[in-house]
Homo-oligomer: A and B are copies of this chain.
Amino acid sequence: MSTMMTREQYEESLKRLKMRVYLFGERVTDIWDNPIIRPSMNAVAMTYDLARRPEYESIMTATSHITGRKINRFCHIHQSTGDLIKKSKMGRLLGSLTGCCFQRCVGIDALNALSMVTFDMDEKYGTGYNERFLSYLRYVQEKDLTCDGAMTDPRGDRSLPPHKQPDPDAFLHVVEELTDGIVVRGAKAHQTGAVNSHEIIVMPTLSMKEEDSDYAVSFALPSDSEGITYVIGRQSCDTRKMEGDTFDRGNLLFGGIEALVIFDDVFVPWERVFMFREHEFTGQLVEKFASYHRQSYACKVGVGDVLIGATQTVAEYNGVDRASHIRDKIIEMNHLNETLYCGSLACASEGHREPCGTYYVNTLLANVHKQNITRFPYEIARLAQDCAGGLLVTLPSERDFRSQDIGALLDKYYSTRAGVSAEDRMRVLRLIENITMGAAAVGYLTESMHGAGSPQAQRIMISRLIDMEEKKNLAKKLCGVEKGGPFV
């Protein structure tokens, strides 16, 4: 029997949390009803809702390898390349149904990375992290929890390692070791969906040396633990969500948000600590989480589907969809979008089994995929704006359309061909605005750039993972610099 929550149960579960959240300089008390936050909760809720619909069962659920029960795939440890491929498809599906970042992939990526690194640490040190982790995993699976995977520290002066920072808290670290647990201080930035999560799983942000052992710490906590504060970031056009039930927001229901999460001397019990001073494993944990998370950018293919659909729709409304240049641009948008899809599938299809049993993506191809994610959505967005026409940015507000004085004039002058209402045209244009420069552009563009590592991070990984010696040998043999070519 499944323990998967319904969408309503998810909402109820969030309401029971007592998070300390700030927005626009004020503490938010009614998180679940806040118009800025609500759309992001709606998006997470979709991950619950779809998992219970038969048509999405194969993609959205999996069988737990520890309990044998059907669980939400977001709580699953990948047991095959098939699982990895379904994760990519789940990302595209949810992106396409929400048109935004649905914020739950950080959790699955953190869980899978920890499933491997806790195992490997135990292998080396005889520690018991993996058992702790599996016990935690069982809890997450049974309760069907949403977990935030928190990695990025503020980092202060980027030219200095953690222990040399003027402010030691620039990286999150252990400030006290107690008999029943540890106390940590610091912050995690850019935490997508943190305020919609039940749990927060903290990991170090970079590969560390011995001097930084205090910073080599990983743990999980309920998101409303004492001492944790969330400060929600502003997004382009964020306050349109506060303007009421207007189509000016573009996406009527969904949206992502990010928060700075501050840990002000927060206590973590030992059973929730998954790494403690094993600095040699920080690099591995970062790389494993990052690789999984780079795969996760399959979601942008789904948002691309929405943007392409909106572009095609407005082209039809404008009566230009048969123009060869419009058709070609829409083909190009699709081509780029499906090229991205290829990357997310290929790194999954080429995944392999790690010693602990978890399946891990092909790291090189996951980095290649993410690198394209830092480029193609921008070009897709540019082409969308090209096809949409200038009205995209000169359109009056919905209130003008509803105005007694001028509403009829707007309806008159924004009508195009028979059978298309000016209002529908406006709605679709607002959705394109939303994805290409509004609130969803934060996720579709800028987060595509920097989430799971900025472009240069992927380039460094690509550089490391390519076998240049082999390639040099191939060349040298063909031109005769080295003997021993194929036929000799």
Is the CB–CB distance between A475 and B390 below 8 Å? no
For window 431-459 of chain A, which residues contact chain B by CB distance below 8 Å?
A: 431, 433, 437-438, 441-442, 445-447, 449-451, 454-456, 459
Give, as a whole number of angstroms, the nearest-CB distance from A415 to chain B: 7
On chain B, the residues within 8 Å of A248 by CB distance are 234
Complex Cα–Cα for A487 and B169 (A): 41
On chain B, the residues within 8 Å of A389 by CB distance are 450, 454
Complex Cα–Cα for A210 and B152 (A): 50
Q: Could you say which of A71-79, A201-209, A266-274, A331-339 contacts chain B? A: A331-339
For window 341-375 of chain A, which residues contact chain B by CB distance below 8 Å?
A: 341-343, 345-350, 364-365, 368-369, 371-372, 374-375
Other than the known A99-B475, A385-B446, A386-B449, what 7 A-B pairs have Cβ atoms closer than 8 Å?
A: A252-B478, A253-B478, A324-B328, A338-B462, A339-B339, A385-B449, A390-B450
Give, as a whole number of angstroms, the nearest-CB distance from A277 to chain B: 23
A interface residues, how many (CB within 8 angstroms):
158
Is the CB–CB distance between A454 and B386 below 8 Å? yes
CB of A109 closer than 8 Å to a CB of B: no
For window 249-306 of chain A, which residues contact chain B by CB distance below 8 Å?
A: 250-254, 258-260, 262, 264, 305-306
Q: Which residue of B lies closest to A231 (CB)?
A: B396
Query: Knowing A342-B343, A396-B22, A397-B234 touch, does A481 contact B390 (C-beta < 8 A)?
Result: no
Contact of A413 among B154, B397, B406, B473 (CB under 8 A): B154
CB of A125 closer than 8 Å to a CB of B: no
CB of A236 closer than 8 Å to a CB of B: yes
Is the CB–CB distance between B319 and A158 below 8 Å? yes
Contact of A437 among B233, B409, B441 (CB under 8 A): B441
Is the CB–CB distance between A342 and B365 below 8 Å? yes
Counting from the closest, the 9 A-B pairs by CB-CB distance are A309-B471, A25-B399, A390-B450, A324-B324, A309-B475, A342-B346, A233-B394, A310-B475, A349-B349
Give, as a whole number of angstroms, the nearest-CB distance from A80 to chain B: 13
Give, as a whole number of angstroms, the nearest-CB distance from A223 to chain B: 17
Is the CB–CB distance between B481 and A313 below 8 Å? yes
Contact of A231 among B25, B406, B441 (CB under 8 A): B406
On chain B, the residues within 8 Å of A455 by CB distance are 386
Q: Which residue of B lies closest to A89 (CB)?
A: B350
On chain B, the residues within 8 Å of A471 by CB distance are 96, 305-306, 308-309, 312
Complex Cα–Cα for A328 and B462 (A): 11
For window 373-432 of chain A, which residues contact chain B by CB distance below 8 Å?
A: 374-375, 378-379, 382, 385-386, 389-397, 399-400, 402-403, 405-406, 409-410, 412-418, 424, 427-428, 430-431
Q: Which residue of B lies closest to A153 (CB)?
A: B413
Is the CB–CB distance between A190 and B447 below 8 Å? no
Q: Which residue of B lies closest to A414 (CB)?
A: B154
Number of copies of this kind of chain in the complex: 4
Query: Knowing A262-B413, A412-B169 touch, does A393 contact B468 (C-beta < 8 A)?
Result: no
Complex Cα–Cα for A254 and B27 (A): 32
Is the CB–CB distance between B156 and A475 below 8 Å? no
Complex Cα–Cα for A456 and B429 (A): 20
CB of A318 closer than 8 Å to a CB of B: yes
CB of A216 closer than 8 Å to a CB of B: no
Query: Knowing A415-B156, A437-B446 touch, does A247 contact B400 (C-beta < 8 A)?
Result: no
Give, as a whole number of angstroms, the nearest-CB distance from A484 to chain B: 12
Cβ contacts A to B, 15 pairs, < 8 Å: A22-B400, A24-B399, A97-B486, A156-B415, A158-B318, A159-B417, A167-B415, A306-B471, A338-B364, A339-B339, A339-B372, A342-B369, A348-B349, A428-B479, A431-B475
Complex Cα–Cα for A43 and B270 (A): 60
Q: Which residue of B lies closest to A342 (CB)?
A: B346
For window 21-56 of chain A, which residues contact chain B by CB distance below 8 Å?
A: 22-27, 42, 45-46, 49
On chain B, the residues within 8 Å of A413 by CB distance are 154, 169-170, 187, 189, 260, 262
> A320-333 CB contact bits vs B (8 Å, 1 = yes)?
10011101101100
